[in-house]
Chain A
């Protein structure tokens, strides 16, 4: 579905990403992992089309990403940022409706007839009904992140990019968030690409992982293949212990105290 071939990105003299090749299949859930400064966020910005490539090409369904208009791209791909949505004074329902922007014609009419049903359905799924008329700037971080997820759902994309979406959430909201994405993917068959800091969450939810270090791909494959003590030790410069999750066997990373 998405082909990344020979992609590089330089900022001045600094190379943030170096000749990356990567193929993403329809309906897969990919996690991108790697230490700070390894090029994860750069890769996300290139995939979402907000920044230009220095070299190489990214194609989605065979078409170069630069040849899509901003609106065409947004009908296909939605992005959820780490910090979610700015705490603006719009009620939750209107923030969700903003997700329909790429589908509006110049008179503001939606190409879909039944938008209200869509929005109601999203509010059901995310339990946002009680918050519908509350302004966003009065909500907690976890609630705001749920609204942000609702907005990208309203966008009805086929590809979802998540940029460290759980960073500012406690474990309750982390799990809730990941479960909601997993459920959405199961129902709508979307392709998910997520930058994740939490390796254990990545192992639990992703089908495949792309491991980056210093702007280069160190490997890609299933969590079981990627999350070995040796590879994690090399990439993050730590000395981890990898154990199998007691209930489903996926690898989980434990750190060891040094002093």
Chain B
């Protein structure tokens, strides 16, 4: 098992580092990969001292102050959403579940935009206020969606997706309403509805990192139980899984990850849907691989999406949520189509 993980994980990390180096160089000022590598290495402890600056100092400013925080935040947001997606899919045993389609992202965005509307982002518990309230509203939304979708103790795929859409439209309307009502803060709320990583300094990355690490490690530690759950809930219980406790905890932690990501970068759809699915196609159904590989894959995907968003029509930035939706929505449609075909195959 560990050999397979090391193999896929190794490839993943190489791709992640390449992504980092290449995407740091893309922008209004193109930077050579060699300089980027040296600048980043120079900043690392221990080995940093061995490298002497040979690059243009303004390059270093661009990298360290502007592009690196953005790229790292993108990686964390992508990883958090993808891990949350794999958690939702594991618990609901449904490949179409993800933070966006379940409405959890929109729910978190409502909490965030209410705070912004009233200008209270930093009240109560400082910079942690936004993620905390986003978590609360995201959890309430998840609870609402599941209550709406439940039919006699079971949650069928179709009604889950429908309830997600219903919730999403309603909550989206609240956010749009707040956007329309507010005069000065209009641009800031618009971020939440479309997603963006721009103008985010190091402090955002610093807040998101502990959220991500705790959430990621927790869901990864539950991977074996999620594998058993895929055999069926009763079967998992007979094998010693505390099913209700597992479902509750993984749903909560996935919502927490979503809320943290949304409060940093707004609503970015489909990452949590596409990435775990692609990983599943590559590495199989085992959550011991899906969770860590989704984290890496989500990071890579998000950084590339953001690079596209800021460079294709530069200097105009395309909202990040638009880019991921261009990729994700057709993929979602494809999954629905395949799902339908499979069911027809079974019934005929």
Contact = CB atoms under 8 A, between A and B. Distances in A.
**Size class of the B contact interface (CB-based, 8 Å):** 10 to 19
Contacts, number: 60
Instruction: From B221, B232, B237, B240, name the one whose CB has the most chain A CB atoms within 10 angstroms.
Output: B240
A70 B237 CA distance: 7
A81 B286 contact: no
A86 B232 contact: yes
Contact of A71 (B224, B227, B231, B240): B240
B230 interface: yes
Residue of B227, B232, B234, B239 with most chain A CB atoms under a 10 A cut-off: B239
Contact of A48 (B225, B230, B231, B238): B238
A81 B231 CA distance: 12
Contacts of B9: none
A155 interface: yes
A75 B224 CA distance: 17
A98 B285 contact: no
A102 B286 contact: no
B285 A81 contact: no
B157 interface: no
> Looking at B234, B238, B286, which has the most chain A CB atoms within 10 Å of its CB?
B238
Interface in A63-102: 69-71, 73-75, 78-79, 81, 85-86, 88-90, 94-95, 98-99, 101-102
A108 B224 contact: yes
Given A50-B237, A88-B285, A70 B230 contact: no
A67 B234 CA distance: 19
Given A74-B240, A101-B224, A102-B240, A50 B234 contact: yes
A85 B240 contact: no
B286 A99 contact: no
A85 B232 contact: yes
B284 interface: yes
B33 interface: no
B241 interface: yes
Contacts of A89: 284-285
Contacts of B242: 69-70
B237 A86 contact: no
Interface in B217-257: 221, 224-225, 227-228, 230-232, 234-235, 237-242
B231 A98 contact: yes
A98 B228 contact: yes
B286 A90 contact: yes
A104 interface: yes
Contact of A155 (B224, B225, B237, B239): B239
A78 B238 contact: yes
Interface in B115-129: none
Given A88-B285, A90-B286, A101 B228 contact: yes
A75 B240 contact: yes
Interface in B192-235: 221, 224-225, 227-228, 230-232, 234-235
Interface string A200-220: 000000000000000000000
B254 to A, nearest CB: 21
B224 A74 contact: no
B286 A85 contact: no
A78 B238 CA distance: 6
B93 to A, nearest CB: 9
Interface string A42-58: 00000010100000000
Contacts of B234: 50, 79, 81
B285 A73 contact: no
A148 to B, nearest CB: 9
Given A50-B234, A81-B234, A104-B224, A90 B239 contact: no
Given A74-B238, A101-B239, A90 B227 contact: yes
A75 B240 CA distance: 8
A122 to B, nearest CB: 15
A104 B223 CA distance: 13
Contact of B286 (A48, A50, A75, A94): A94
A85 B228 CA distance: 10
Interface string A215-258: 00000000000000000000000000000000000000000000
Interface in A143-201: 151, 155
Contacts of A74: 238-240
Given A81-B238, A85-B232, A99-B239, 16 more contacts: A73-B240, A74-B238, A74-B240, A78-B238, A89-B285, A90-B230, A90-B284, A95-B231, A98-B227, A98-B231, A98-B239, A101-B224, A101-B228, A101-B240, A104-B224, A151-B239
18 contacts: A48-B237, A70-B237, A74-B238, A78-B238, A79-B234, A86-B230, A88-B231, A88-B285, A89-B284, A90-B227, A90-B230, A90-B284, A98-B227, A98-B231, A101-B225, A101-B241, A104-B224, A106-B221
Report the 6 A-B pairs with minimum CB-CB distance, sorted nearest first.
A74-B240, A102-B240, A79-B238, A71-B240, A89-B285, A86-B232
